[in-house]
Structure 1
Amino acid sequence: MRSADEQDLEDEEDWLTKAEVREIWPQIRPSSIRAVARANSVRTSAAPSPDLTREPTYHAADIRHVAARIARGEATVAPWQHTDSDAAIEDTTPSQPARQPVRWGSENVPGLILLAIVVVLILWGLTSPDNHGTVTDFVR
């Protein structure tokens, strides 16, 4: 009969973090590990992950069993979840974001008119003399 400490130690070894699963399942995209585990009925722990990532921990025996099924091509894995899929290649290929050219179309006219009015008022306030309706003239 095992002691409670031995059982706790064994339980700790039976659960793997996502990083450890990535090492066992190198052919599965990291973003797909949770989905592949769910699709293949891998048990997960409700306890927080030891690496504080809020990811579930996965049962080690289930992970190893599914790894063997993945190698044989029997596991439930969508084509885009493989690391050699087109989606995975697109994720790793850096691409320039599409830049939209700046256009001065009719949708910008009201904003430009408002901007022009504000600029004129600021310039007029800075260059005009202080004798046109200030608070001190109103109080006197």
Structure 2
Amino acid sequence: MGASDEQDREDGERWLTTAEVREIWPQIRPSSIRAVARANSVRTSGAPSPDLTREPTYHAADVRRVAARIDRGEADVAPWQRADSDAARADATPSPQVRQPIRWGPDNVPGLILLAIVVGLILWGLTAPDNPGTGTVFVR
């Protein structure tokens, strides 16, 4: 912990966890809190967070200052970092559904008929009497 961290703690200034910052910055995506804090010069503490998540804690006064700037639209926030942007909505759209396994049904009948014909023709061609490759005559 640096000297400024100790001075802030002595002055009664609080340090906020990431969960607390999320409540103050609802417009920011949870995955972007660290980047937005860095871009807007929010001080972070090197001390372990009280919830033992190993995430940094953020200076409460800085978080409130940036919250006001976010509300006014003056904060340094990329569009994809905002929870209320088109980019965030695009990320939240569900992905395509997983393909279901193929089931036996009326849609498969034409393909099965074709397969049966092809297999039948191959077997008939192999067992035809004029086919020299199917004889049982062995050469000694």
TM-score computed with the length of structure 1 as normaliser? 0.59
**1:13, CA displacement in angstroms?**
5.5
Distance in 1 between the 2:97 and 2:57 partners?
35
| Contact 2:45–2:57 (Cα < 8 Å) also in 1 | yes
Q: Which residue of 1 aligns with 2:36?
A: 36
SS in 2 for 1:58: strand
Q: Which residue of 2 aligns with 1:19?
A: 19
Q: Which residue of 2 aligns with 1:75?
A: 75
| Contact 2:17–2:57 (Cα < 8 Å) also in 1 | yes
- Mark the CA change 1:24 to 1:72 in structure 2 (over 3 Å): closer, same or farther: same
SS in 1 for 2:65: helix
Q: Which runs of 4+ in 1 moved over 3 A?
A: 7-13, 96-99
- Taking every aligned residue pair, what percent have the same amino acid on both sides? 82
Q: What letter matches 2:41 in structure 1?
A: S
- List runs of 5+ in structure 2 lacking aligned partners: 1-6, 100-140
Q: Which residue of 1 aligns with 2:62?
A: 62
Q: What letter matches 2:46 in structure 1?
A: A
Query: After superposition, what is the alpha-carbon deviation per residue over 1:83-117, rounded to whole angstroms, capped at 9, x for unaligned?
Result: 02233223333324777xxxxxxxxxxxxxxxxxx
Query: After superposition, what is the alpha-carbon deviation per residue over 1:105-136, rounded to whole angstroms, capped at 9, x for unaligned?
Result: xxxxxxxxxxxxxxxxxxxxxxxxxxxxxxxx
Q: Which residue of 2 aligns with 1:113?
A: none
Task: Give the number of equivalent residue pairs.
Answer: 96
SS in 2 for 1:48: coil
Q: Which residue of 1 aligns with 2:135?
A: none
- List runs of 5+ in structure 1 lacking aligned partners: 1-6, 100-140
Give the root-mean-square deviation of aligned CA atoms.
2.6
Distance in 2 between the 1:70 and 1:43 partners?
17
- Mark the CA change 1:11 to 1:51 in structure 2 (over 3 Å): closer, same or farther: farther
